[in-house]
């Protein structure tokens, strides 16, 4: 279903289902003696959502969960190990961002569009750290209930902010105790492409307004102008080959947009881009040498610091 103004979702539909898909990938990468991640909450969260495709993925009942040798030769990204590696690169990038910010003395963190993110529970946060999670009320309520039933306890002072990012989330964040005079570590993981270009810029402006010197931000870097015209359709086709019915092309906002780094630089942030190849190489992995490499060749990850 295509996006509309004011649309809503739960974790089994629309944009919410993509959060569950990411959690399923984290669960997959956390399995076995050769686990690449340690996210023990991802599996029960995905099962609680109840989407059959994602449960089959983590149970090894879909082609993408087969051994590398069983994957179609024409599509080397469609196998268990490359899926595990890809989500590991993404997850560790944002994990390491928060850990580095904490080591530098930042004690306030904000996870925008938190979905099924479990960092408030699984990272080693220094004493006194406050973590804010912002997402739609039904998403926050579901995750909070499931984790409470599991007996999971946050490793920081977790404060949930139950609001749509299209509403006045800065006011809601402040009302939850957020201190704009203190440095903050922000992440916008897997978020910007789901916002219209003007909403992306407004989000970055709000972050800037709320950020004291020493604040940091991490998100994906995408040079949309360098991508082929059908890149979203190709990504959707790739995901559908292992059973997903999510049509990313309908969920993304594909209008021309400025790169987040350019927008932030104009507002005084110092930015660093890590290419996808370098992000994979940092963990001893390689980007699969297929059409995926062409799609991600100019993409990567962005970290910004406000002096």
What CATH number is given to the structural domain containing 37? 3.40.50.150
* Residue 76 pLDDT greater than 60, yes or no: no
Residue 3 belongs to a domain: no
Q: What is the tens place of the pLDDT at every residue in 177-229?
A: 999 999 999 999 999 989 999 999 999 999 999 999 999 999 999 876 666 66
**Average pLDDT value over all residues in the chain:** 88
- Domains: count for the chain: 1
pLDDT band at 67 (very low <50, low <70, confident <90, very high): very low
Candidates 89, 269, 110; CA nearest to 191 is: 110
pLDDT at 168 over 60: yes
Phi, psi of 79 (to 5 degrees): -155, 165
Report how far residue 144's alpha carbon sits from residue 152's, in angstroms, rounded to the nearest whole number.
10
**Mean local confidence (pLDDT), 143-147:** 98
In 115-145, which positions are buried (b, 16+ CB within 10 angstroms) versus exposed (e)? bbbbbbbbbebeeebbbbbbbbeebbebbee
| Whole-number pLDDT of residue 80 | 81
Question: Residue 9 falls within a domain, yes or no?
Answer: no
Dist. CA 304–CA 126, nearest whole Å: 22
Interstrand relation of 300-305 and 216-221 (parallel, antiparallel or unpaired): antiparallel
**Mean pLDDT on 10-36:** 94
Q: Is 263 within a domain?
A: yes
Q: Identify the pLDDT of residue 294.
A: 58
For the chain, what percent of residues have pLDDT higher than 70? 84
Do the domain assignments include residue 6? no
Question: 178, 210 in Cβ contact below 8 A?
Answer: yes
pLDDT at position 65 is: 41
Does residue 272 lie in a domain region? yes
pLDDT of the residue at 183: 98
The per-residue pLDDT for 224 is: 66
Range of the domain at 285: 14-305
- Tens-digit pLDDT profile for residues 91-128: 999 999 999 999 999 999 999 999 999 999 999 999 99
């Amino acid at each position: 279903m295509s996006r509309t103004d004011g649309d809503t979702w739960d974790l089994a539909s629309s944009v919410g289902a993509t959060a569950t898909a990411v959690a399923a990938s984290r669960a997959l990468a956390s399995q076995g003696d050769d686990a690449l991640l340690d996210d023990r909450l991802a599996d029960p969260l995905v099962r609680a959502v109840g989407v059959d495709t994602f449960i089959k993925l983590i149970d090894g009942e879909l082609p993408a969960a087969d051994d590398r040798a069983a994957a179609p030769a024409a599509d080397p990204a469609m196998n268990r190990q490359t899926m595990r590696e890809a989500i590991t690169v993404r997850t560790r990038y944002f994990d390491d961002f928060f850990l580095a910010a904490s080591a530098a003395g930042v004690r306030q963190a904000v996870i925008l569009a938190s979905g099924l993110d479990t960092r408030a529970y699984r990272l080693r946060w220094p004493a006194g750290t406050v973590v804010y999670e912002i997402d739609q009320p039904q998403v926050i309520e579901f995750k909070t209930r499931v984790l409470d039933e599991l007996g999971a306890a946050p490793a920081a002072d977790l404060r949930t902010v139950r609001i749509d990012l299209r509403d006045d989330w800065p006011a809601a964040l402040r009302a939850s105790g957020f201190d704009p005079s203190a440095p903050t570590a922000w992440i916008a993981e897997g978020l910007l492409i789901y916002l219209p270009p003007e909403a992306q810029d407004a989000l970055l402006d709000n972050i800037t307004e709320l950020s004291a010197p020493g604040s940091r931000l991490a998100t994906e870097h995408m040079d949309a102008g360098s991508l082929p015209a059908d890149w979203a359709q190709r990504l959707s086709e790739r995901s559908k080959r292992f059973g997903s019915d999510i049509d990313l092309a309908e969920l993304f906002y594909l209008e021309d947009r400025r790169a987040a780094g350019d927008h932030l630089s104009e507002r005084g942030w110092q930015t660093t881009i890590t290419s996808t190849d370098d992000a994979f190489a940092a963990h001893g992995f390689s980007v699969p040498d297929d059409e995926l490499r062409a799609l991600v060749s100019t993409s990567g990850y962005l970290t910004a610091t406000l002096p």
